Amino acid sequence: MPPVLYEVHLRQQPEYQQNLHQAKVDEPIEPFTGGRVFYQASFWPARSIDNSKIEKGKLVLVIQRIGITLLVKTLQLTQ
């Protein structure tokens, strides 16, 4: 599917399917060393994309995967 059509397709999906790239921090993510997240029913090693500390229990957004390590950033929830 071409990228533009893919983006339109994603916007048309129910909200529960748009959260596929969210993960929950299981072990705190420390600067420059990483931690662990729960993502798609599995535990994954993770590092913060900006090398910030992320506490256990926080929701993060998965940005990229390098090998088995996920690069994540803190999810900003809007109200």
User: How far is CA 46 from its chain centroid?
Assistant: 9
Task: Report the pLDDT value the prediction gives residue 75, as an integer from 0 to 100.
Answer: 85
Going from N- to C-terminal start, the domains of the chain cover 20-74
Encode burial over 47-70: b for 16+ CB neighbours within 10 A, e otherwise.
bbbeeeebeeeebbebeeeeeeeb
Question: Any idea which architecture 20-74 has in CATH?
Answer: Beta Barrel (2.40)
Task: Report the pLDDT value the prediction gives residue 16, as an integer from 0 to 100.
Answer: 42
pLDDT tens for the 79 residues of the chain, in order: 444 444 444 444 444 445 679 999 999 999 999 999 999 999 999 999 999 999 999 999 999 999 999 999 998 766 5
